[in-house]
Each structure stands twice: as structure tokens, then as C-alpha cells.
Structure 1
Amino acid sequence: MMLIIRQSVFVMGLFLAPILNASQLVGQAKLYPEVITYDVYRKGEPVGHYTLRFSDITDDRVAAEIEMELTAKVFVFFNYEYRYQAKEVWQNDRLMQLNVKTVSNKKESSVTAVQKSDVLETVDKKGRVHAYPAELMTTHHWYRQILDQRQVLNSITGNMDEISPESVGSALLDARGETVQLDGYRLGGDLDRTVSWYDRDGRWRALEFKAKDGSDIQVIWNGGQLIKETSLAQNRE
């Protein structure tokens, strides 16, 4: 009898092992289409797009490519152009490699990171080398697990930021006739001016932050409108 029980437990273990060892970030990536586009707004006006693309998905590995382009008129006659490109590779929920290129009005900067001997070796935008904790996550918002972090790798600067995420309430995403309930979180700390919105399944749906010039930037799931609690209350009055 004991032999039968042991054999049954062993067989169950074979089936459960892939589930118990499954990568959280692979599971997160599978929530999305292969390519997702977000609309970018500045002061409520459309200024560009943000694209998220997944590839190389296995049981424990996923690659994500991120691109953001925007063109905005600043101070009436001055056009501001910005392009951000990044590729990150995750394995067993650890960042194995990150390459970022940013072009801001023709001024280029780059950030790189790679796993080395249980540290994340990073070269920031000023060319300085850092050895950060191996489990550090980036400030790309497609994974909800960022809300469980207290330190993150700022993918634009290449420096480690302190955060303290907290709820800011709920909102609705009205996208092409579909209404989706969202929960918002202010990242806090060094990223206090950043609020990220997720649906109840954990998909990243929208982002709000302040630009260097103080203007409000929104990144919203393609074709969607972010309706926050204040707007809902005004509509009821």
C-alpha cells in the first residue's frame, strides 16, 4: 500500500513540477497579444505611440522589445522629438540582458545590463559601471510584479531607483466598445510622479507620469480612453 502511495506522489510531482517552477514573467507575457500598441498623449493631445512586442517565449524564458516614439510642440515653435528602444531578456524571472537606446532631440544615450556571477552588471547613461542585485527588475511596466518591488533598475538612466508602490484607486478603460476595470498604483519613492494601471487579470493598460517640463503624459492601450474616479463622479452629477 505504501509503495502505491509513494508511486502516486511521485507521478503527481512530475505533473506539478512544471507548474510550481513556471516563470511568473512568462505567464505575464502570455496575457498579451504578441504585439501591443499604446497611444501616447501629452496634455491630452496625441503625440506618439508605445509598442510592446514579445518573442522567444519558452517555459522559463521570454524576450520583450519596447519602443516609444513621440513628437510634441514645446514653447509654440520648438518641436521636441523622442525615441526610446529597448530589448530585455528574462530567464527564470531574472533579467539576463538589457539593451536600451534613447534619442532625445538627436542626443543619444544608452543603458546596458547583463547577469554576471549573481550580480546585475549595469552601464548607466553616463558610462558608469554598477553591480546591482541580480533579481532587480526594470521600469518597463508590462509585468505587475513591479508592484512587489522596493528597488528597480531605471531603464532610462541605468541607475537603481527606490520605490514604494501604493494604490490610488480604480478607473475604467473604454476601448473599442469594451469597458475594463482597472486598478492604479503610484510607484512612489524616486518615481513618485508615475502611476501605472492594470486590469484585474494583471495586464498593464495605462501609464501616467510627469515629463521634465511638468506636462502630463499618458500612455494608454490602443484606442482606449482612461476614465478615472473623478471623471466618473463628475458624470454622475
Structure 2
Amino acid sequence: MYSCTKKKPVLLAVPIICSLLMTGFLVQFASQVHAVTNPTHHQGMDAPRIDEYDIFRNDRRVGTHVVKRLRSDDRLVVEIRSRISITLIGFELYRFHYDAREEWDESGLLSLSVKVNDDGKPAALEGRRQDNEFQWEYGQMQASSSMPVYPTNHWNAAVLDHDAVLNTLTGKINKVNITRDVTNSSLQDIDLTSATRYRYEGQLQLSSWYNDDGDWLAMQFIAKDGSVIDYRCSNCKQVQVRE
């Protein structure tokens, strides 16, 4: 896990990364909720789908984020991979690896596995649905929540209709208020003029963009040091932000 109090003065990136992955990731419009939470109804899942994102800090590329979706029998398997590297004059000062695997069926999230290597410090989360409850372990902590449960991996737009997410970096449920943002906004290198911007407030604060198909296109938030962090899809269909 990230330590927001790490004492590496040159590494302003540490609190940034802490904020970055604390933000959690996933969402879809109400009309697409059934399709997302019921994988057999999701369009285009006969072959693997891979969405790739670049991660930027103040418009400087610092990492990559990949979401791979594959239908296996009656389940949807989603694999998420993040790699972040902070360098200074050619030397790597900080490294972050994040790997997650989700399984979904007709009843929602079935299982979740997360492995993190935060600059040499490992952490892991393992969870599985039992009846109408999702149970998980994070380190020495055991916790549970009634269904539905949405991990902070952002690909699933169904989270837009809910007020809580499972933070995969802390193992805790975060309360959020997600609202449609009517203010216009754009990101460099990605055309968002027919997407809709949503704002998270509460224990997570960020803006995230989705198109009418529920595809996650971009995310932006302010890190603790005041820098701007962007996730920008590099291979999604480019559309525009709708007010």
C-alpha cells in the first residue's frame, strides 16, 4: 500500500500515486447496468476486449493502465494491470505494480483478487461472494458487505447508480456521491465531446468520462501535492463530452 507520509522529498510522486490508486476505478449508465452486471448480455464479449490507458501527471506520462475482459463459460473475467514508474534524470525513484482479477456472473461480482507491490512493499486482497454478501480479506483484516459490490477499478459503469465502492488499496468500503457534471471539460490528446462527465465526491474525489455504451474513456483528479493526474484511453473510440 502507499504510505502518504513517505519521506522522499524528491518524490512528490508518492502522494500522487497514493491518491491515484485510492481513487478507485468503474461505471455505466442506468440503461446499461443490466448488461454490465450480467456478462452474458454484454455486447462484444465473444473475443477478448483490451482497453489501454496512459497515466499522466501534469501532462507528463508516468505509467499505463490496461483492462482486459474475456467471457469464460457463463462468467465475465476482468483483468486489470497498472504500472507506474517515476524517474529523475534517467533514474527510477519509485515503482508501483497493481494487478487485479474480477469474476462476474448473473448475480454480480463473484470473486476479486488484488496484488500490489508498492515500491517493494507487497499487499493483497482476496474476496468472494457468499449468498448475497461479499466477503474479503486484506492483510489481517476481514470484512464483508451486502451485494452489489463494485471494486475501484472503474471499467464498470454500473457503479454510477451506487453510493459505495470497495477500495482495493485499503480493503475498505468508501462512501461516495456520484453526480452527472454539466460543466464542459476536455483532456489533452483525447476527444470527449460526446461523452458524459461524472463527478465523485465524498471519500473519493475525481471526474470520470463515459460514452453512451458505458465505456470508460478518461479520468482526472487533483493529487495531494496539487498536480493534475489524468487517465486517458489510448485505443478507445474517441468521442466528445456532452454537457
Q: Same fold (TM over 0.5)?
A: yes
Q: Distance in 2 between matches of 1:216 and 1:175?
A: 15
Deviations 1:81-138 (A, max 9, x none): 11110000011141111000111111111111111232111112x4200121131111
Letter in 1 for 2:94: Y
Task: Percent identity, please.
Answer: 25
Letter in 1 for 2:99: Q
Q: Distance in 2 between matches of 1:226 and 1:216?
A: 22
Which structure's CA Rg is the greater one? 1
Asked if 2 retains the 8 angstrom alpha-carbon contact of 1:100 and 1:155, the reply is yes
- Aligned partner of 1:137 in structure 2 is 150
Residue in structure 1 matching 2:114, options 100, 106, 109: 100
Asked if 1 retains the 8 angstrom alpha-carbon contact of 2:85 and 2:96, the reply is yes
Residue 43 in structure 1 maps to residue 58 in structure 2: yes
Which gives a bigger RCO, structure 1 or 2 (Cα 8 Å, sep 6+)? 2
Q: Shift of residue 72 of structure 1?
A: 1.6
- Aligned partner of 1:5 in structure 2 is none
Query: Considering only aligned residues, what root-mean-square deviation do their CA atoms show, in Å?
Result: 3.2
Q: Distance in 2 between matches of 1:173 and 1:223?
A: 15
- Equivalent residue of 1:137, what SS? coil
Map 1:10-29; keep pairs closer than 5 Å: 23-25=35-37, 26=39, 27-28=41-42
Normalized per residue, which structure has more helix? Answer: 1
Q: Distance in 2 between matches of 1:186 and 1:153?
A: 17
Q: Distance in 1 between matches of 2:154 and 2:107?
A: 15
- Aligned partner of 1:155 in structure 2 is 168
- Aligned partner of 1:56 in structure 2 is 71
Residue 208 in structure 1 maps to residue 220 in structure 2: yes
Which residues of structure 2 form unaligned runs of 5+?
1-33
Letter in 2 for 1:219: Y
Which residues of structure 1 form unaligned runs of 5+?
1-21, 230-237
Give the length in aligned residue pairs. 204
Q: Distance in 2 between matches of 1:188 and 1:61?
A: 32
